[in-house]
Every structure is written in C-alpha cells, then in structure tokens.
Amino acid sequence: MVNGGDRIFAKGGDDIITIDGWDNLNYIDGGEGTDVLIIEGDDPVSLSLSDLNVEIVTGNAGDNIFSYEGTSSIVIESEGGSNDDILNGGEGDDTMTGGEGNDIFVYDTLNDSTVTNPDIITDFEVGKDKIDLSRVSINDFNQLTIEQNNQQTSIYSTVNDSNFLVNLEGNIGLSQDNFIFLITFGIASNNVKYTLDIDGNRIIEQQDHNLRNIYCSRFDKTEFDFLINNNPNDLIGENATRADANSIFNYFDEMDSLLDIDGNNLIEPQDHNLINLYASGLDVIEFGFLIENFSNDLIGANATRNDASSIFAYFETIVL
C-alpha cells in the first residue's frame, strides 16, 4: 500500500494497486493486463479513470466521484460506509456497484451503454439511487422501455434512433423518480434544454454556475445558485408553495421586494426586462416564472427546501 505523492508504473501482468486516498501528486499507470486499483480510507475521492490504465476500481468509504471517458470495459465498485457516490463508466460494457448510500449513475451519451455493449448496475436501490440521463437526449420516463426478465431489469430507449440499454441486477420496479432528466424550458418560439445541476450531485449550487453559465433568449443569464439542503441561506423557504412567494423567497433577504418590479404581485419575465437583479455571490437573479396557480409554474405545489423533485416538478416547457 502506498500513500499520497507516489508515481506507480505497473507495466505488464495482472496487478493489484492499493493506495490510501488520492491527491494530485499521484500518478498511476496499470500497464497491460487486468489491473485492480483499490482506494482505502474514508476521504472523498474525485477521480478520472481515463488515464490510469486500470480495469477494476474499488472506491473507499468516502463520497466518491469516478468517471471514465474511454471505450473499453471497466468495473467500478464503491463499497463501504454510507458514501454517496457518482459513477460514470463512459462507453463500453461497464459494471458499476455503488455500495451503500445515495448513488448516481451518470450517462454522457446514448453510446455509453448500448444493446451490443450494455452496462450492468449491480446494486441499484429504489428510493436511494438514481440514473442520470440529463446529459443525453432522453427527457422523460415515457421515452424509456422497462423490461424484467430472469432477475434482471433492462432499461431501453430508441430516442434519436439510438440503441440505449442499461441492465440492473434484480427485478426492480422503476418510475420517473428513479431518474434525473434534463430540465426543459421554452425560449420564444423554440425549446432550449439545460440542466441546472451541472456537476450531478443533486444540489443546485454556486459551483454549478462556475462550471457552465446558462444563457438563453429573453434572459441575460439564468443561474439559480441555491442549495436545497437545509442551508440557512437557501432561497427556497421551508414551507414553500407555488402560490406563496413570501415563503419561497424568505431567505432571499433584502432582495425580496425587488423581484416583482412592476408591482402586480407576479414574478414574471417582464420584471426581468425592467431591471436586472444583482446580489452578493449571484450574477443575475431572474427566475422568469409565475408564482400563482399556473400549471407551468416552476415551483411544485408541495415544494420544500429538501425536495428538489417537487420544487422542479413544474419546471417543464415554459413559453415566454
């Protein structure tokens, strides 16, 4: 076992490499053969596997983020503790195990897992884990076909003439709640699709803005930059409802009164045209939605600060 700051060249043969944590000084090249990388400890690890030249990776008890951009098959395991992991196998028929915790299995393209080279997720747990399809062109549960056969659940899609297929071990009843889809909203006469949670950690936060600015017609910049995890500075109030602007924005501090610029008790696109709203740590705050009993409101009827799915249940197609 080696600690941080090491450079490891395994060369040929089937190797087992065990390290205690990971930092930027580590360099690993597994060489030829079927190589295993074992990461011990309990510190969070964020690691691109593309350049490591290993075929099997076992994460530690921390919150792991593993991504792989190659086309070869890879086995990703993140076991031990109650870690919340983000696993991305890239192209090829990969085997992914999230272990305990709330895990996210990410797909960047429809070619990452196909009928000819399908991924296998070995321990998907309903109510905890999610499959993130927000980066591909699958926008709704209705674009998926779910089949169960011989203790295996298969997720198919032929959207855009693709042959997307992911297999889960076990017969698992799936619904829209088990997936992360792209948030869609309308721009003038056409639809432009974005996801607000850019880093895929299920929290919309400042770092998402740093990763990608979200631009759209009729807005200078749309970036929400808030946390949905009991942070006292959240923009979403504890008991927020679609019709209650005060509770939705009761953490917006002194900026509350500036959202409804024209004074008609609706926060709407025309308010943005009257003034751009600035606040510390935020570039432009402009939500562009109505907070009244309107079917396309962004705020769900039962939205709470902890429930991102209901907060964005009405973030559908908004034609401005």
Domains of the chain, by residue range, sit at 7-180, 183-320
Instruction: Please give the single-letter amino acid code of residue 243.
Output: A
Residue 120 contacts by C-beta under 8 Å, 6 or more apart in sequence? 93, 94, 95, 96, 167, 168, 169
pLDDT value of position 174:
94
pLDDT value of position 307:
39
Arithmetic mean of pLDDT over the chain: 57
Given a cut of 90, is residue 56 above it in pLDDT?
A: no
pLDDT value of position 71:
46
pLDDT value of position 89:
75
The predicted model scores a pTM of 0.49
Q: How confident is the model at residue 280 (pLDDT cuts 50, 70, 90)?
A: very low
Q: How confident is the model at residue 37 (pLDDT cuts 50, 70, 90)?
A: low
- Give DSSP secondary structure letters for 45-108: EEEE-TTT--SEEEE-SS-EEEE--SSS--EEEE-STT---EEE--SS--EEE--SS--EEE-S
Q: Which contacts of 277-280 are long-range, i.e. CB under 8 A and separated by 24 or more positions? A: 279/252, 279/253, 279/255
**Residue 289 vs residue 40, higher pLDDT:** 40
Given a cut of 80, is residue 166 above it in pLDDT?
A: yes
Residue 127 contacts by C-beta under 8 Å, 6 or more apart in sequence? none
Half-sphere exposure of 20 (CA within 13 A, CB side): 4
For 105, phi then psi, to 5°, come to -105, 115
Domain made up of 7-180: CATH architecture? 2 Solenoid (2.150)
pLDDT value of position 170:
94
Tokens standing for 23? 């930092």
List alpha helices for 201-279, DSSP H.
206-211, 245-248, 256-259, 269-274
User: Alpha-carbon distance 139 to 133, whole Å?
Assistant: 8
Predicted confidence (pLDDT) per residue in 214-247, tens digit: 322 222 222 232 333 334 443 443 333 333 333 3
Predicted confidence (pLDDT) per residue in 248-261, tens digit: 333 332 333 444 45
pLDDT value of position 172:
94
Tokens standing for 137? 């062109």
Which of 73-87, 231-245, 249-263, 297-311 is most confident? 73-87
For the ranges 73-82, 196-205, 219-228, 297-306, the lowest mean pLDDT is seen at: 219-228
Smallest CA-to-CA distance from 98 within 75, 79, 81, 111 is with: 79
Given a cut of 60, is residue 154 above it in pLDDT?
A: yes
Given a cut of 50, is residue 169 above it in pLDDT?
A: yes
